[in-house]
Structure 1
Amino acid sequence: MPEVIRRGAVFGALLAVLGTLGTAVPSQASATPPTACPPTLAGKATCYTGQDANGAYYTMAVPKRWNRALVVHAHGGPTASIDPSDTTKDLAEWAVMVQEGYAWAASSYRRGGYGVRMAAADTDTVRRLFVERFGRPDRTYVHGQSFGGNVAAKIAETYGRERGAYDGVLLTSGLLAGGSRGYDHRVDLRVVYQYYCRNLPRPTEPQYPLWQGLPADSTLTPDDVLARLEECTGIGSANRTPSQQRNLDDITAVTGIPERSLPTHLQYATFLFQDIAVNRLGGRNPFATQGVRYTGSHDDSALNAGVARFAADPTARRDLSYDSDLTGQVSLPVLTLHAIDDPSVFVEHEAAYRATLHGAGRDSHLVQTFTREAGHDGLSVSEYATSIAALDDWVRTGRKPAPSSIAESCGAFDRTYEGGCFYDPGYRPSAYCSRVRPRPGGAGWPAMTAAQERTWSRIDGVGIAP
């Protein structure tokens, strides 16, 4: 189920600053007693839960037959709020890692809402907690799923050079274009949707800039937004009116977002944007539609004349970029897995990530694999087992795998898990700009001065407002 729906409802208000980077280990960590594991791991592992000094909840699992390697998991989202049970649910979802002999640890992050550097710091905290309790593993891998892919890639750049911290990176269905452009398709959806539907907000409601997602005091819920989407497009109905069908056709054609994932994308373009603009950037706008040419509708001229236009605040875009964009400065083996027809995080994010590493001269550290699947979460469990094994073999032997050899090795795991193997070793994604319209002048926000960098390093290590 899409994370925006599974994990919560409306994004919360701005929370107070919690803790500081490096104060993550509670003194009682080594005394936490075992807790119940998810049913799939009963009798196969010992599990532990707790809360770190910054307020983040965590779950750890150590298999009965531990291979002395650790997977540190960064979850997707961003989630609306945190709950003590979230990380145990994540463990159940990724139980294959433990079944394959890897210890596992994950953080809920200290709060809901956006913040890549914050999530990276909290994920590294749970690694340190694990080491405090069980000693340093022989090998440590960071795994990021979806938004967690952005987090894990940031961990590789921020903490990957720390001696003995991490040995490799696994990114599955990763949002790898960074926050400053990784949500541009949702910016386009927000304005294109409003052009056709005119109900978010309605003409009779207080108006607000669409880049804001919603006003700070809005009482709309995700169910309300879904009802307005259904009202305009008839989505989910077998009896759409002709006008609803045309609205739906125009919105999906212009944005490239498939009908099946339209509700999730619209909720992110509403509640996540509210969180980013209102809570994290103090009301500043990091997004732009100025100069973007929209095509694919039944009347492109009318659409481009009437769609909402706005330019980004350069300081807001800079701050979002600092928090979430990737530099490519990685020195660890990085393996990615992505479905070619991922409806939530388009596969072209992989092209953006390869280009980033290539620009930094680090693409030799990267192996990308693709599958002929149409999902985002819940790809074949056999492929997840194959991926972590391939990364582990790469780290242990120093032999970089080819996508074809990874695909060939999947069959052995499929005999155990029977999830199927759908690799396409010859696939290469098109450039990111082929799927998501670039913003004219998008790279022109001002660079940070040395003094500003020092200031950011003192703000809890979280980048944008905590």
Structure 2
Amino acid sequence: MNPRHFRIFRPALATLALASLAACGGGDDGPQPVVPEPSRVQDARVYTPLAEATFAALPNSAVATDRWTGTLGGAAYRIEVPKTGWNGKLVMWAHGYRGTGASLTVDTPIMRRYLLDNGYAWAASSYSKNYYDVRAGVEDTNALALNFSAIAAAKGRTLPAPSKIFITGVSMGGQITAAAIEAEAQMTAVNKVKYAGAVPMCGVVGDTELFNYFAGYQVAAQQLAGVPITKFPVTDFAALVPTIQSALWSSYPTQSNAQGDKLKNVVMNLSGGARPFYAEGWANPSNQNNIWSSLGGDGTINGILTQNVLDTTQLFYKVDASSTSITAADTAFNASAFKIQPTLDANRLRRDGLRWIPLTSGDFNVPVVTLHTLGDLFVPFKMEQVYFDRAKAKGTDKWLVQRAVRDVGHCAFTAAEATTAFDDMVKWEAGGPKPAGDDVTTAATVGAASYGCKFTKNTPSTEDYTAPAVRAGYQANYPACP
């Protein structure tokens, strides 16, 4: 059987028409009192933006810039604009998941040097909340974009409204990037921005399917370890972790045993199918530790929702690696696997703005170029396949270009890879030809030994997230392009 058959279920979208009716409290009986939205655990958390006095100029740059910092709506921000030669365009940078702390921090885009060299202004928000709060990320990024000229004026420089606004980001910021250009966000966000193009990188572009993937990993791991789930949520999961890991790894996290290799095969299919760098990604400590830190939840995504959104009912666990076809062992395993059922409308449309976890349904009409590393198992390559399928169903795949990068790390791109993707997107948006990309869905293509070679640029620089010497050490042990 084609590994693409083992796909993550894509939930259907609720209609905006029904949401509008609910928002108005309308119906055959006339207007009804609007019931307030329920409060979440997230709503009671208190955060502090760490406002900076300034941030450093880009080293070895010939471009003099104005660099502004401050707070806006409970979020810290950074803005940088060339002192001369601004091209009138603004790039919004969306950072990734910051964890569960109370401090809000902001950073700079990986393609900062390219942006300044080419006359762009850029701006980045810390967001007003931590945890996995994509809604806050979209709203606060949009609010900063809308206030760009007003902030410039307050800082002593008169600037017109940007002629075009682009958005790019990594990881959770990749979902923020993709969600911000959706038609649903254009209709329901409090702060509305019409972006001209987007580059989501290592992004959660399958939205809640990421959490279904984590749930499927947990279901399979517990069953293979002999401590299967019998009810959900699993309230004693932390206590079970040593038992599960010792049953599946001879040396966690780098060397799984024979039983753990069944989980390895399950996760390969749940995360995108057979492909280069999967084996290296499976044995990567960062990948495994990030996954395990994401298991054992109750489906509310740490209080972002009020009810369980997890759904494993459509997942298929391919435990038998001896055949690509479904075997008796696969059938028996799936028949006994616990099915986590979501609460209906746990992530429904809201009356007060965006969904609590905004969707990436593929409903966009601007150029989009994505990047994803093949061995990333924390936010797996499967996200790109889900995103393509959704865009194809919407008829928007003509606006989508996707690229695979040969590495195991989450967001382990070089600045050259990110810069090329952004440059190709803006040239396309300006009227150039649609840039080249990778086929992310054909199993034979994705599984080829050369897959990902075309857009992998391993020449290191100081702008990379990984230090050049460290990256060179990693690359020395990676499979070379044939």
Report the TM-score range of the alignment, normalised by the length of the smaller protein: 0.5 to 0.7
Q: How does 1:314-333 map to 2 (within 5 A)?
A: 314-316=344-346, 318=348, 322=355, 323-333=357-367
Structure 1 residues 33 and 408: alpha-carbon distance in aligned structure 2, compared to 1, 3 A threshold:
same
Match of 2:433 among 385, 394, 400: 400
SS at match of 2:293: helix
Q: Is the 8 A contact 2:131 2:302 kept in 1?
A: no
Q: Which amino acid aligns with 2:103?
A: D
User: Aligned partners of 1:363, 1:34: CA distance in 2, in Å?
Assistant: 43
Match of 1:259 among 283, 292, 295: 283
Q: Is the 8 A contact 2:174 2:204 kept in 1?
A: yes
Q: Is the 8 A contact 2:414 2:457 kept in 1?
A: no
User: Aligned partners of 2:171, 2:456: CA distance in 1, in Å?
Assistant: 25
Q: Is the 8 A contact 2:374 2:405 kept in 1?
A: yes
Match of 2:262 among 250, 256, 259: 250
Matched, 1:310 2:349: no
User: Aligned partners of 1:365, 1:164: CA distance in 2, in Å?
Assistant: 19
Matched, 1:166 2:178: no
Q: 1:80 aligns to what?
A: 100
Q: 1:350 aligns to what?
A: 384
Q: 1:124 aligns to what?
A: 142
Give 1:139 deviation, angstroms.
Answer: 2.5
Matched, 1:16 2:44: yes
* TM-superposition CA deviations, 1:37-64 (whole Å, max 9, x none): 26647885443322222x2222222245
Q: How does 1:52-451 map to 2 (within 5 A)?
A: 52-53=72-73, 55-64=74-83, 66-77=86-97, 79-81=99-101, 83-84=103-104, 86-88=105-107, 91=108, 93-101=110-118, 102-134=120-152, 135=159, 136-157=161-182, 158=184, 165-179=194-208, 181-197=209-225, 209-210=232-233, 231-234=246-249, 245-256=257-268, 258-260=282-284, 261-270=287-296, 273-274=297-298, 276=300, 279-282=303-306, 284-290=307-313, 292-296=315-319, 300=330, 303-304=333-334, 306-316=336-346, 318=348, 322=355, 323-396=357-430, 398-403=431-436
Give 1:266 deviation, angstroms.
Answer: 1.9
Structure 1 residues 113 and 239: alpha-carbon distance in aligned structure 2, compared to 1, 3 A threshold:
closer
Structure 1 residues 195 and 143: alpha-carbon distance in aligned structure 2, compared to 1, 3 A threshold:
same
SS at match of 1:337: strand
User: Aligned partners of 1:410, 1:195: CA distance in 2, in Å?
Assistant: 39
Q: Is the 8 A contact 2:414 2:458 kept in 1?
A: no
User: Aligned partners of 2:99, 2:60: CA distance in 1, in Å?
Assistant: 25
* TM-superposition CA deviations, 1:148-189 (whole Å, max 9, x none): 22211111125668998422111112221221x232221111
Q: Is the 8 A contact 2:91 2:121 kept in 1?
A: yes
User: Aligned partners of 1:72, 1:400: CA distance in 2, in Å?
Assistant: 24
User: Aligned partners of 1:372, 1:159: CA distance in 2, in Å?
Assistant: 32
Number of paired residues?
372
Give 1:67 deviation, angstroms.
Answer: 3.6
| TM, length-normalised to structure 1 | 0.65
User: Aligned partners of 1:365, 1:113: CA distance in 2, in Å?
Assistant: 31
SS at match of 2:260: helix
Give 1:330 deviation, angstroms.
Answer: 1.6
User: Aligned partners of 1:228, 1:42: CA distance in 2, in Å?
Assistant: 53
SS at match of 1:150: helix
Give 1:400 deviation, angstroms.
Answer: 3.0
User: Aligned partners of 1:245, 1:276: CA distance in 2, in Å?
Assistant: 32
Q: Which moved further from structure 2: 337-346 or 118-127? A: 337-346
User: Aligned partners of 2:463, 2:422: CA distance in 1, in Å?
Assistant: 17
* TM-superposition CA deviations, 1:3-30 (whole Å, max 9, x none): xxxxxxxxx95333899xxxxxxxxxxx
Structure 1 residues 325 and 165: alpha-carbon distance in aligned structure 2, compared to 1, 3 A threshold:
closer
Which structure features the higher share of helix residues?
1
SS at match of 1:315: coil
Q: CA RMSD in A?
A: 4.4
Q: How does 1:19-38 map to 2 (within 5 A)?
A: 35-37=54-56
Indicate the percent of aligned positions where both proteins have the same amino acid: 21
Give 1:199 deviation, angstroms.
Answer: 7.8
| TM, length-normalised to structure 2 | 0.64
Structure 1 residues 226 and 64: alpha-carbon distance in aligned structure 2, compared to 1, 3 A threshold:
farther
* TM-superposition CA deviations, 1:436-466 (whole Å, max 9, x none): xxxxxxxxxxxxxxxxxxxxxxxxxxxxxxx
Q: Which moved further from structure 2: 369-378 or 149-158? A: 369-378
Q: Is the 8 A contact 1:82 1:108 kept in 2?
A: no
Q: 1:462 aligns to what?
A: none
SS at match of 1:73: strand
User: Aligned partners of 1:229, 1:93: CA distance in 2, in Å?
Assistant: 38
- Give 5+ residue unaligned stretches, structure 2: 1-39, 153-158, 272-281, 322-328, 439-451, 469-482
- Give 5+ residue unaligned stretches, structure 1: 1-11, 20-31, 202-206, 421-466
User: Aligned partners of 2:339, 2:46: CA distance in 1, in Å?
Assistant: 37
Q: 1:437 aligns to what?
A: none
Q: Which amino acid aligns with 1:251?
A: L
Q: Is the 8 A contact 1:57 1:87 kept in 2?
A: yes
